[in-house]
């Protein structure tokens, strides 16, 4: 760890196999449907299409933000990536190696390099383990000796801003929410991962503590050369943290691209409505009209074609017939990396937000 956070060239990481141009993570056609059982014979009566055919990649050193409302599949995506759930189909390639493939890397090797921080800082820690035990657990499981594992735990505690001699022997209930989330971050870093998935990692924290943890995450990313997948429902926090953003709605990606382009020129009608719902923080510019009516539909048996069409002001018959695919808008001035899944060009006309 260098004292002054500067960008080390990627090549210094001996685990970097593909070079800087190889995305750290490539996900293709990832799908997970959950059966809903019911009735007399407990037959499958419906399917929750939690994640439906999504593809994306994460470049080395970047932060990819995923935003969307509850039920859009953002947390399921995270769990599928970590293989906490088996995907129905789709491939995950980590730094050029297919995960779970005979010629690629195993799931446990992938987990060594990809770690996750969850929303609920309390339930994600074992109540019977001290902080040092929790952090040292994974390194010990992966073969590090007891003494070394505990040394690592202590250095990680101080890395996340907790004095080791004060906190290493404490139990989860003796810490505040912000302190526990720092411990969860330390635990995620214990195997020296390259990619960290942050699934609503700051959502449960008070604002003054959230800001501290966001600063910590930015510092750690710089100094440890990390790549983040940052999942949140908070549009402002995603804008602050991410380099690229992916907007999900009912299990599909509706829009993706560089953060400035998405936030300045959102093109999908859903993304626009989402941004328009954001409180303005200005008492003189209060929202006066509802950007959207109703709640997101149930992901059980979602609408055919474009899933947003039932709430969309621009919907036309073809929106019900074919599923729109992610494409770059036609206009010349737009960023080619900014892609939108929408049939209706008029709905996507550039607006300045």
**C-alpha–C-alpha distance, residues 207 and 199, integer Å:** 17
Q: What is the SS3 assignment for 143?
A: coil
Interacting span for another protein (CB under 8 A) from 94-102, 166-174, 185-193, 281-289: 281-289
CB 307 within 8 A of CB 250: yes
6 touches another protein (CB under 8 A): no
Residue identified by tokens 């609920």 is 120
Residue number with CB closer to another protein (156 or 274): 274
Q: What mask of x and - would describe binding to another protein in positions 163 to 192, judged by CB under 8 A? A: -------------xxxx-------------
Residue 349 main-chain phi, psi, to 5 deg: -50, 140
155 touches another protein (CB under 8 A): no
218 touches another protein (CB under 8 A): yes
The gap between the terminal CA atoms of the chain, to the nearest Å, is 40
Rounded to a whole number of angstroms, the minimum distance from the CB of residue 287 to another protein is 6
Residue number with CB closer to another protein (294 or 317): 294
C-alpha distance from residue 305 to each of 73, 160, 233, 266 (Å): 18, 46, 25, 21
- Which one of residues 39, 143, 283, 317 is an interface residue with another protein (CB under 8 A)? 283
Residue number with CB closer to another protein (150 or 230): 230
- Which one of residues 127, 294, 317, 332 is an interface residue with another protein (CB under 8 A)? 294
CB 320 within 8 A of CB 250: no
- Which one of residues 3, 284, 330, 352 is an interface residue with another protein (CB under 8 A)? 284
Instruction: Show contacts with another protein in window 234-253 (CB under 8 A).
Output: 234-237, 239-240
Helix orientation angle between 177-189 and 207-224, rounded to the nearest 10 degrees: 20
Count CA atoms closer than 13 A to 96's CA, side-chain side.
Answer: 9
CB 7 within 8 A of CB 223: no
Rounded to a whole number of angstroms, the minimum distance from the CB of residue 323 to another protein is 22
Rounded to a whole number of angstroms, the minimum distance from the CB of residue 66 to another protein is 15
Residues contacting residue 97 through CB under 8 Å, at least 6 positions apart: 17, 104, 105
Residue number with CB closer to another protein (14 or 293): 293
12 touches another protein (CB under 8 A): no
- Which one of residues 89, 106, 163, 215 is an interface residue with another protein (CB under 8 A)? 215
333 touches another protein (CB under 8 A): no
Residue number with CB closer to another protein (133 or 335): 335
27: nearest Cα among 84, 99, 116: 99
210 touches another protein (CB under 8 A): yes
Long-range pairs of 301-306 with CB within 8 A, sequence gap ≥ 24: 301/46, 301/47, 302/49, 302/250, 302/251, 306/341, 306/342, 306/343
42 touches another protein (CB under 8 A): no
286 touches another protein (CB under 8 A): yes
Long-range pairs of 35-38 with CB within 8 A, sequence gap ≥ 24: 36/300
Rounded to a whole number of angstroms, the minimum distance from the CB of residue 226 to another protein is 17
Rounded to a whole number of angstroms, the minimum distance from the CB of residue 276 to another protein is 8
Q: Which residues lie near another protein (CB under 8 A)?
A: 69-70, 176-179, 206-212, 214-215, 218, 233-237, 239-240, 259, 263, 273-274, 277-284, 286-296, 298
């Amino acid at each position: 760890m260098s004292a002054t956070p500067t960008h080390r060239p990627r090549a210094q990481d001996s685990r970097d196999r593909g070079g800087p141009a190889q995305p750290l993570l490539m996900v293709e056609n990832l799908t997970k449907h959950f059966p809903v059982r019911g009735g007399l014979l407990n037959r499958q009566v419906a399917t929750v299409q939690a994640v439906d055919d999504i593809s994306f990649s994460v470049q080395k050193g970047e932060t990819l933000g995923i935003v969307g409302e509850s039920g859009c599949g953002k947390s399921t995506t995270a769990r599928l990536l970590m293989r906490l759930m088996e995907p129905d189909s789709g491939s995950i390639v980590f730094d050029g190696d297919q995960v779970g493939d005979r010629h690629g890397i195993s799931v446990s090797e992938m987990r060594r390099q990809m770690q996750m921080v969850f929303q609920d800082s309390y339930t994600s820690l074992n109540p019977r383990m001290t902080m040092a035990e929790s952090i040292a657990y994974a390194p010990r499981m992966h073969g590090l000796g007891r003494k070394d594992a505990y040394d690592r735990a202590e250095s990680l505690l101080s890395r996340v801003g907790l004095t080791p001699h004060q906190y290493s022997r404490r139990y989860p209930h003796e810490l505040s929410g912000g302190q526990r989330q720092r411990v969860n971050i330390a635990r995620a870093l214990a195997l020296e991962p390259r990619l960290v998935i942050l699934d609503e990692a700051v959502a449960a924290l008070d604002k003054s503590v959230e800001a501290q943890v966001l600063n910590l995450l930015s510092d750690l990313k710089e100094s440890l050369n990390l790549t983040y997948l940052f999942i949140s429902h908070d549009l402002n926090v995603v804008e602050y943290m991410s380099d690229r953003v992916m907007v999900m709605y009912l299990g599909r990606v509706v829009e993706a691209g560089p953060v400035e382009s998405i936030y300045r020129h959102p093109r999908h009608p859903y993304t626009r409505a989402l941004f328009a719902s954001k409180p303005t923080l200005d008492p003189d510019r209060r929202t006066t009209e509802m950007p959207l009516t109703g709640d997101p539909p149930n992901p059980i048996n979602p609408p055919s074609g474009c899933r947003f069409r039932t709430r969309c002001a621009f919907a036309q018959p073809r929106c019900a017939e074919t599923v729109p695919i992610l494409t770059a808008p036609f206009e010349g001035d737009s960023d080619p990396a900014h892609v939108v899944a929408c049939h209706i060009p008029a709905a996507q006309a550039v607006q300045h937000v």
